[in-house]
Structure 1
Amino acid sequence: MTAVEVAVHAAASLGEGPTWDAAGQRLIWVDILGSRVHTYDPVSGRRTVMVTEQHVGAAKPRAGGGLVVNLRDGVGLYGPQGAAGGFRWLHREPVPGRRGNDAAVAPDGTLWAGTMRYDEAPGGGTLSRIAPDGGTRTVLDDVAVSNGTGWSPDGRLLYYVDSPTRRIDVFDFDGQQPSGRRPLAVVDAGFPDGLTVDADGCVWVALWDGGAVRRYTPDGDLDRVIELPVRRPTACAFGGAGLTDLYITTARTGLDAPHPMSGSLLVVPGAGKGLPQPPFAG
């Protein structure tokens, strides 16, 4: 059985968005409903927590230091000193009843930021491309719960999850625009949530209400399942010095009797080999 360990004991309501920050040699993750951005250094064990003024769907490192964050009312920037270094909006577009959700940085350094309605109404969410200068283009405008987004090692494929569809979809990608949407895989246990792509081009996806992380080949075949003690894993990412450890965020929200590990950051040492993730270029 695959060894699943607790990297950070926490009680996050809705832990999400693990991201390995290569420059800082740390993992960044968020508690969406707790409005918190967490960092964790697996070598020293050092942890930090920054409180944001709004629900925060994702936080990613910036090329010049600091963070880009997908908040309730849009996308904003923190400087290298975090909250102490100041905050500014990069793209602000408040919509009543809607918030930012998962996000990912594309190979060209743009941010692909998802949104969803709090009531998860179909068609209430979007996926948008945010350029370093704040220029924004909506890529998908008929989404319910915008979640996992990732690219193949050669950058020619885009993988995407709109959770209620129970599909992992794949698009052809020309560096700017996705096309030819089709299902890579249909999930039969729980709902697909956050995903990451490994060095072999395989897609790892966390299953909300499925209690597992699954790995699918580029052909859509299921070739590995990591069973978890928690019911609601939310996302996964490779981290550590060699990008071999799989980190998994988890949630407690909506559970009457959550497992003691629910809300913690989990890790599966030596699970595979991840891809370096680019920082946001803005």
Structure 2
Amino acid sequence: MTAAAGYEVAVPADAELGEGPTWDPASGRLLWIDILRSRIHTYDPVSGRRSVRTAPQHIGAVKPRVGGGLVLNLRDGVGLLDPDDTFRWLHHEPVPGRRANDAAVAPDGALWAGTMRYDEAPGGGTLSRLTGDGAVRVVLDDVAVSNGTGWSPDGRLMYYIDSPTRRIDVFDHADGGVADRRPFAEIEDGAGFPDGLTVDADGCVWVALWEGSAVRRYTPTGELDRVIPLPVPRVTACAFAGPDLTDLYITTARVGLTSPPPLAGSVFVVPGAGKGLLQPAFKG
């Protein structure tokens, strides 16, 4: 195992709950969100230009759509933002006390969208698969904090995190379904809780550690082989971005910290960290 810093501050910010970095190859921009401030941020790593817009409500994830626009995992369901900024619901299902959390687009273009209760009560969250026509299937209905989701390079494995379990789990994945859930890696006591994840071109799994001040990389066999320490405790998610998908971008949060470090809520980058996979756009 190797430990290395190598990080830079890509976007100095004070996000309450920064999350969900996603590379949009069509626009050449990094997308990321501030869940509790209902904000969608963009960052152009070439020009340094940044933008921010307000989402209709608390937002758990934002992803590009085929043909332009965005799909939003929101408090009361999943919505579509068209290229002309017109908003419409794809799936509207308000549940009192529940909000959206992380989401990911599968190799087939379907959105896997997670939810959780604001109080993080066990069993209050779900993981659902949504297609572009609005069809929804609840895949997991008994989770606490639905978080990182990603697929192996060949699409045959799906990795998933329910944060309080302190595990990264892995499923067999085929034809839009999953089976044979089993532990892939466990986070030891005192090292934080697994949050968002991404899978690289070598099949390694990178995971952000909430209250762990780090991002870890696990090999396809589940062996911990790299740790990237960060100067903030609440590390939320990571993704490869940039024109060649070699830079690892990392979001962080300051929510709940009585004396947050100066960089809490910023977006960090580790240049040349590895080689990412091009993430598919949502087919909807």
Report TM bin, short chain: over 0.9
Secondary structure of the residue that 2:160 maps to in structure 1? strand
Secondary structure of the residue that 2:86 maps to in structure 1? strand
**How far does residue 52 in structure 1 lie from its aligned partner after superposition?**
1.1
Partner of 1:72: 75
Output the amino acid matched with 2:87.
Answer: F
- Equivalents in 1 of 2:230, 2:259: separation in Å? 16
Describe how 1:86-235 pairs up with structure 2 within 5 A. 86-188=86-188, 189-235=191-237
**How far does residue 41 in structure 1 lie from its aligned partner after superposition?**
0.5
- Equivalents in 2 of 1:29, 1:88: separation in Å? 20
Give a deviation string over 1:203-256, Cα, whole Å, max 9, x none. 000000000000001111000000000100100000011100000000000101
Show structure 1 runs of 5+ residues with no match.
none
TM-score where L is the length of structure 2: 0.97
Partner of 2:276: 274
Detail structure 1 runs of 4+ shifted over 4 Å in the superposition. none
Report percent identity of matched pairs.
74
CA contact (8 A) 1:69 1:76 kept: yes
| Structure 1 stretch displaced more, 1-10 or 67-76 | 1-10
TM-score where L is the length of structure 1: 0.98
Q: How many residues align?
A: 279
- Equivalents in 1 of 2:28, 2:180: separation in Å? 36
**How far does residue 175 in structure 1 lie from its aligned partner after superposition?**
2.8
**How far does residue 2 in structure 1 lie from its aligned partner after superposition?**
2.5
CA contact (8 A) 1:155 1:175 kept: no
Which of 33, 52, 57 matches 1:54? 57
- Report whether the alignment pairs 1:18 with 2:28: no
CA contact (8 A) 1:151 1:157 kept: yes
Show structure 2 runs of 5+ residues with no match.
none
CA contact (8 A) 2:209 2:235 kept: yes
Partner of 1:5: 8
CA contact (8 A) 2:5 2:230 kept: no
**How far does residue 104 in structure 1 lie from its aligned partner after superposition?**
0.1
Give a deviation string over 1:113-169, Cα, whole Å, max 9, x none. 000000000000000001001100000000000000000000000000000000000
